[in-house]
Amino acid sequence: MEWHVTDAQSLAIIDSEIENHVFSPAEYEIVRRVIYSTADFEYKSLIRFSERALQAGAAALAARTTIVVDVPMVQVGIAYEIQNTFANPVYCSMEALTRPQKEKTRAAWGIETLAKRYPEGIFVVGQAQTALTALVNLIEAEEIRPALIIATPVGFVDVDEVKRRLQDSLVPHITIDSRKGNAVVATAIIDGLVDLAWQAYGQDGNRGS
């Protein structure tokens, strides 16, 4: 992300209002990116990072691991950062060519299809709780082993339960500990992670076109 003067001023305000925190420097960069994108300071207490989630995600990005997202808004939101850094392939569950399934949503069936195709991919679920449930079912069935899952879908029915199941798995993950969340939050997290990974692994000669 290209930061401007107003961005710097906004980040300074966020820093002054957050004050003390327990996040690592890398985690804090993600947290304040989410707050900057939402103007919601409650996310400071809601974001959960599994052990080594950022390290695993950054390494996977640097290895140009395929990224699978649940909705076009996330795909569009991360396109600039991805194209101008590691140039990972990005696929959207809503655009996956699948046969109709009455018992599953389009997002769930699409992400399940892509997950089986890219079982060690990076998965970003910003909106569709059904897509997250499909991923967790595949993890528990030991059909996939994602490099990282970012899960921020808003929800009222069983969303906490499916997030708990993800948190109980050994898969690196970043989640929101409540009903709150949306595609904007997911996009902020992955964009922040791309910036961190580029600082750690990127070289000008590797920059995507």
Distance of CA 17 to the CA centre of its chain: 25
Q: Which token pair is 126? A: 């910003």
For 26-70, write each residue's pLDDT tens digit: 999 999 999 999 999 999 999 999 999 999 999 999 999 999 999
So where are the chain's domains? 22-199
CB 135 within 8 A of CB 149: yes
Residue 46's SS3 state is coil
Amino acid, single-letter form, for residue 48: R
Q: What pLDDT shows up at residue 53?
A: 97
Q: What pLDDT shows up at residue 203?
A: 60
Q: Does domain 22-199 have CATH number 3.30.70.580?
A: no
Alpha-helical (H) ranges within the chain are 5-18, 25-38, 53-62, 72-83, 106-117, 129-140, 159-168, 183-201
Q: What pLDDT shows up at residue 101?
A: 66
Q: What is the mean pLDDT of each run of 10 residues along the chain (209 residues)?
A: 68 88 94 95 96 97 97 96 96 80 84 96 96 96 98 84 93 93 96 96 58
Q: What pLDDT shows up at residue 35?
A: 96
Residue 198's SS3 state is helix
Question: Of 183, 147, 167, which is closest to residue 61 (Cα–Cα)?
Answer: 147
pTM score above 0.95: no
Q: Which token pair is 168? A: 């109980």
